[in-house]
Copies of this chain bind each other. A is one copy, B any other.
Amino acid sequence: MTSSDVVIKKLAQHSELTGPDMAHVRRLTCAIRKLTPGEDFIKQGDFPRASAIVIEGILARYHVLETGHRQYLSIHFPGDWPDAQGLFLEQMDHSVCAIGTAVVCAIPHEELIRLFRERPAAAFAVWRETLIDASIFRETITNNSSRKPLARLSHWFCEMYFRAKQAGLVRRDTMALPLNQAQIGEALGMSLVSVNRTLKQIRRSAAADFKDGALIVKNWMKLSSIGEFDPAYLHPTIQPRR
């Protein structure tokens, strides 16, 4: 699968693109870049001139506080545009790094702007992706602010699994999620120890397991019930198989 296939597949999942729209998308310059685990693609404070799309692997956005503490903001799978915001906001207010090894393609902003001027439908499709992004942020606010650890971690697992499934990254009941427990804590506003203990609870409930950087969902109904998970905020088109 070429990188423009990944892009078009993702956009077509949510929006209607005509032949000429897709043809224009295919003509975009696409600089492939491979990232090593943890490597930054772009950093807080940078002034990007190109926008990245995930082709393979997982990327994450994060803030760094004065204290050095890292807060992960979102996780991105192939087809996602983790820095579409750079298109219209000059300076990055957060960083983007690879989780595990990853491949991205970088498209120059001026080409995208030209595409958007000439093919509004393509602009609307990408805009839509950025709005789903925002919707995920809102759910993260609610998850990290309102839910107790057990529901919070379960909800997060549900989202990862659901989105991985949409991106075709689930084999049987397992997906790769190459994070350690400390990083999960930094995503959910929990301490490492708390993540570990909560994970133990989830294991005991036999709803899911997480080890060696892989998430295994054994009982989707149970996990989504514990996590109070309703995928409406992902504005999905494909429902995962239960």
Count copies of this chain in the complex.
2
A71-B142, A138-B94 given; A89·B128 CB < 8 A = yes
B89–A131 contact, CB under 8 A? yes
Tell me how many residues of A have a C-beta within 8 Å of chain B. Answer: 52
Within the complex, the shortest CB–CB distance from A187 to chain B, in Å, comes to: 8
Flag whether A116 is at the interface (Cβ < 8 A).
yes
In the complex, which residue of chain B has the Cβ closest to the Cβ of A135? B93
In the complex, which residue of chain B has the Cβ closest to the Cβ of A86? B131
Q: How far does the alpha carbon of A130 sit from the alpha carbon of B131 in the complex, in Å?
A: 8
Flag whether A91 is at the interface (Cβ < 8 A).
yes
Q: How far does the alpha carbon of A135 sit from the alpha carbon of B88 in the complex, in Å?
A: 12
A65–B128 contact, CB under 8 A? no
Flag whether A90 is at the interface (Cβ < 8 A).
yes
Flag whether A12 is at the interface (Cβ < 8 A).
no
Q: How far does the alpha carbon of A188 sit from the alpha carbon of B145 in the complex, in Å?
A: 7
Flag whether A42 is at the interface (Cβ < 8 A).
no
A134-B85, A141-B73 given; A232·B117 CB < 8 A = no
Could you say which of B71, B131, B142, B145 contacts A88, with CB atoms under 8 Å apart?
A: B131
A63–B142 contact, CB under 8 A? yes
Within the complex, the shortest CB–CB distance from A106 to chain B, in Å, comes to: 17
- Which of A27-35, A119-127, A171-179 lies on the face that meets chain B? A119-127
Within the complex, the shortest CB–CB distance from A7 to chain B, in Å, comes to: 17
Q: Mark A183-201, 1 if CB is under 8 A from B, else 0.
A: 0000011000000000000
Q: Mark A60-98, 1 if CB is under 8 A from B, else 0.
A: 010101100101011000000000110111110110000
Q: How far does the alpha carbon of A233 sit from the alpha carbon of B88 in the complex, in Å?
A: 13
Q: How far does the alpha carbon of A139 sit from the alpha carbon of B85 in the complex, in Å?
A: 14
A145–B145 contact, CB under 8 A? yes
Within the complex, the shortest CB–CB distance from A81 to chain B, in Å, comes to: 12
Q: How far does the alpha carbon of A66 sit from the alpha carbon of B230 in the complex, in Å?
A: 11
A-B contact pairs, 30 of them (CB 8 A): A15-B88, A47-B242, A61-B138, A63-B146, A65-B142, A65-B228, A73-B138, A73-B142, A84-B131, A85-B134, A88-B127, A88-B128, A90-B235, A93-B135, A93-B139, A93-B235, A94-B138, A113-B124, A116-B124, A120-B120, A120-B123, A123-B123, A127-B130, A133-B134, A134-B137, A137-B137, A137-B138, A137-B141, A141-B144, A146-B189
